[in-house]
Amino acid sequence: MAKRSVPLLKQLLSSSAAVSSSCSSRFTSHRSVTYMPRPGDGSPRAVTLIPGDGIGPLVTGAVEQVMEAMHAPVYFERYDVHGDMPKVPQEVIDSIKKNKVCLKGGLATPMGGGVSSLNVQLRKQLDLYASLVNCFNLPGLPTRHENVDIVVIRENTEGEYAGLEHEVVPGVVESLKVITKFCSERIAKYAFEYAYLNNRRKVTAVHKANIMKLADGLFLESCREVATKYPGIKYNEIIVDNCCMQLVSKPEQFDVMVTPNLYGNLVANTAAGIAGGTGVMPGGNVGADHAVFEQGASAGNVGNEKVTEQKKANPVALLLSSAMMLRHLQFPSFADRLETAVKHVIFEGKHRTKDLGGNSTTQEVVDAVIATLD
Amino acid sequence: MAFQLLRRALTSRPDQIISSPSAFSAVRAFSSAPITATLFPGDGIGPEIAEAVKQIFREAEVPIEWEEHYVGTEVDPRTQSFLTWESLESVRRNRVGLKGPMATPIGKGHRSLNLTLRKELNLYANVRPCYSLPGYKTLYDDVNLITIRENTEGEYSGLEHQVVRGVVESLKIITRQASLRVAEYAFHYAKAHGRERVSAIHKANIMQKTDGLFLKCCREVAEKYPEITYEEVVIDNCCMMLVKNPALFDVLVMPNLYGDIISDLCAGLIGGLGLTPSCNIGEGGIALAEAVHGSAPDIAGKNLANPTALLLSGVSMLRHLELHDKADRIQNAVLDTIAEGKYRTADLGGKSTTSDFTKAICDHL
């Protein structure tokens, strides 16, 4: 998503750089190739909406408002799910299976014992095996690192999150990390296919096979096999600790990264942090049949009560994820309009929430986005 | 003893890397006889940088005699790795050692060398102080934190097996004993160095029993140190906060895998593994300082390597031996040389050779 609009933005910026024109003309969305829909594609699509906990309802409310302002052909079926429920209600699962697409705020995960994370449960039940986070520098948002445009594709169902733990004897606990060829292969295939379809040049596999020789070794083997089928895409491997080190010093060397479950979580959050924070990075989970879009990294982080009370949560991440969702539903021009508006608001810098260094509330940012929509 | 403690408490933070209170080591009697320490030069650039360290220590008149041991060429059945039993006995005898980089082959059948050392010598805590070096600019200026990583169990237990073809299981083990041990060391270290906050890093919302046990142990120890603030941070939040604002953290304590990743991330914040000291603490007060970077086979033997990491690790070893003035002299010499900027090796952006850099440090002593 970023890849398409960044060259567009660069072109627009360079052409108007000589003339000190007003900001709005630089950011009009401009699609030169017409998308020809099938007859009937414009009829409204149902999307399951899960507001979630903490800041979830705030940011999903923001998305609903913007969608209405754009008259986008989507309507939301809202379901209430909270992190402390024992499992995701069956009606929600049925709704997602019917609609195939869902938009979700974060679900809080209780610590330490008892209920396992509902975010993880949802992914496993719907077999959403690929989690994608797109971390990129937003123009106008100053960060320490430049030229960041990384997509982290993370295996979402097995690995360290298999949830198989038991106490051997009192004081000794074991947790199983399971890696299978089947899951490793399909995530590698997804990563290379993504790179191919989005004109990405390089795929990097992140692992720790020097220590976990069999488990991560199996993951690497699967990646290598799939790499041979895409000779036009460069493939390399990097150990996870070196990867984190390179991310904080030279992030421009990374393009698409494919990782098993736990490393993916860390790498995605690190990459999101260097590019501006988890408040602005879009992402989602996708499987063979369903897709759930949510805030890119750190879905379990629903903010603290102060942010929720003061209504200062950052809606940018979920807005950009909903743009990804619109493209997934094949409404590209709505997606473009939404993205351009959001990026324009960030670039202007007048309405930014606290995590970006400003002082606006969620509603102010939403109003600014709606005002900028063309 | 009291004077030593008072002096240590008053000296500024970056000068203190490792402490050796009587609870954690046998008190080393003051003597002018040379102390024997084991030296593992290691592979690749190891021998050159070990030579640089020896030269500088000689110039500074440090009373240490080195007992050198090399990695063997075949697997020793007593240790299941390329390290011989004699090398390990030497460290156990001397109680103190310095280790250069050793290569770990990917995917082979025997035990990794570093893991062997850790298991055999029961090195349970890896301490890595990360502070921004004055004079070497990175994107982060205000890093001043210590990462303490549990070094013996967790995800690196090495227990993996193939269940059926195409399905592999790897065991992550967390025990109460090991978690308590590393938590005790972390809080003790924080107290001895005047640190105010200890953060435990975990993923207990997903791995409830394993990381949950680790957190329980940390909480127990935290109650014994009421003057130190204790907090718990989920690892993905921690990663994000570290790259946005590293000044938020003080002492970090974590299980093995997270520790590996976070300590390398912190090393990246200050300029890379070529500048980061590290020390492994074992039962009975054994301290094995090591350079954590790789063996860099591509520049081995070309006099291009940067000895800073091994030097600063050697300094931490000296502090463990309570040779504080020698440690300060050498550390200041290293920091001044880097700050000056005239002699820097290639990885710091300069053009000096190892020998020039070493000579510059000797001149600064």
> What ipTM score was computed for the predicted complex, to two decimals?
0.82
Question: Cβ of A116 under 8 Å from any chain B Cβ?
Answer: yes
For A177, the closest of B104, B170, B175 (CB atoms) is B170
Q: Looking at the DSSP assignment, which residues form a beta bridge with residue B299?
A: none
Question: Cβ of A114 under 8 Å from any chain B Cβ?
Answer: yes
A78: pLDDT confidence band, cut at 50, 70 and 90?
very high
Of the candidates A367, A370, A362, A341, which has an alpha carbon nearest to the alpha carbon of residue A26?
A341
For A181, the closest of B166, B260, B262 (CB atoms) is B166
A4: pLDDT confidence band, cut at 50, 70 and 90?
low
Handedness of CA B90, B95, B97, B103 (dihedral sign): positive
In the stretch 245-284 of chain A, residues with CB closer than 8 A to chain B read: 245-249, 262-263, 265-266, 268-270, 272-274, 277-278
Average pLDDT over residues A41-58: 90
Of the candidates B130, B126, B132, which has an alpha carbon nearest to the alpha carbon of residue B145?
B130
Q: How far is residue B313 CA from its own chain's centroid?
A: 7
Question: For B119, phi and psi rounded to 5 degrees?
Answer: -70, -45
Just list the catalytic residues of B.
156, 203, 236, 260, 264
- What pLDDT is attached to residue A159? 81
A26: pLDDT confidence band, cut at 50, 70 and 90?
low
Query: Measured between beta carbons, which residues in chain B are less than 8 angstroms from residue A144?
Result: 139-140
* Residue A38 Cα, gap to closest chain B Cα (Å): 43
pTM: 0.83
The CA-based angle B223-B226-B231, given to 5 degrees, is: 75
Average pLDDT over residues A66-82: 93
Angle between helices B354-364 and B324-340 (to 10 degrees): 120
- What pLDDT is attached to residue B157? 74
CB contact under 8 A, B140 and A144: yes
- What pLDDT is attached to residue A10? 54
Average pLDDT over residues A169-192: 93
Question: Cβ of A224 under 8 Å from any chain B Cβ?
Answer: no
CB contact under 8 A, B236 and A301: yes
Q: What is the pLDDT of residues A246-261, one digit of tens each?
A: 999 899 999 999 999 8
Query: Measured between beta carbons, which residues in chain A are less than 8 angstroms from residue B104?
Result: 210-211
Query: Measured between beta carbons, which residues in chain B are less than 8 angstroms from residue A117?
Result: 205-206
In terms of CA atoms, which chain A residue is nearest residue B106? A210
Angle between helices A56-70 and A316-328 (to 10 degrees): 50
Handedness of CA B7, B13, B14, B20 (dihedral sign): positive
Of the candidates B289, B299, B354, B323, which has an alpha carbon nearest to the alpha carbon of residue B40?
B289
Q: What is the pLDDT of residues A105-120, one digit of tens each?
A: 888 776 655 556 788 8
Average pLDDT over residues A184-200: 95
Whether the per-residue pLDDT at A20 is higher than 50: the answer is no
CB contact under 8 A, B243 and A248: yes
Whether residue A209 contacts residue B155, with contact meaning beta carbons closer than 8 Å, is answered with no
DSSP B242-257: HHH-GGG-SEEEE-HH
In terms of CA atoms, which chain B residue is nearest residue A171? B176
CB contact under 8 A, A277 and B240: yes
Whether the per-residue pLDDT at A25 is higher than 60: the answer is no
Consecutive sets of 10 residues in chain B, 365 residues long: mean pLDDT of each? Answer: 50 44 43 80 87 90 88 72 82 89 66 76 90 83 90 82 92 92 92 89 87 93 94 90 91 91 91 87 88 82 86 85 84 86 79 86 87
- What pLDDT is attached to residue A251? 93
- Tokens, residue A43: 């009829």
Whether residue B75 contacts residue B82, with contact meaning beta carbons closer than 8 Å, is answered with yes
For B106, the closest of A181, A209, A268 (CB atoms) is A209
> For strand A149-155 and strand A130-136, is the pairing parallel, antiparallel, or unpaired?
antiparallel
- What pLDDT is attached to residue B25? 43
- What pLDDT is attached to residue B24? 46
Q: How many helices (H) and strands (E) does chain B have?
A: 11, 12
Q: What is the pLDDT of residues A285-309, one digit of tens each?
A: 999 999 999 987 765 566 677 777 7
- What pLDDT is attached to residue B116? 78
Higher pLDDT, A224 or A20: A224
For testing the chain A interface, which of B236, B254, B295 should be mutated: the one with the most A CBs within 10 Å? B236
CB contact under 8 A, A214 and B170: yes
- What pLDDT is attached to residue A8? 53
CB contact under 8 A, A177 and B107: no
| Contact partners, residue B118, CB within 8 Å, separation at least 6 | B151, B152, B280
Residue B219, sorted as left (phi over 0), alpha (psi -120 to 50) or beta, turns out to be: alpha
> For strand A165-169 and strand A172-180, is the pairing parallel, antiparallel, or unpaired?
antiparallel
Whether the per-residue pLDDT at A151 is higher than 80: the answer is yes
- What pLDDT is attached to residue B29? 44
Q: Which amino acid is at B92?
A: R
Q: What is the pLDDT of residues A352-371, one digit of tens each?
A: 888 888 888 889 999 999 99
Q: How far apart are CA A32 and CA B34, in angstroms?
A: 79
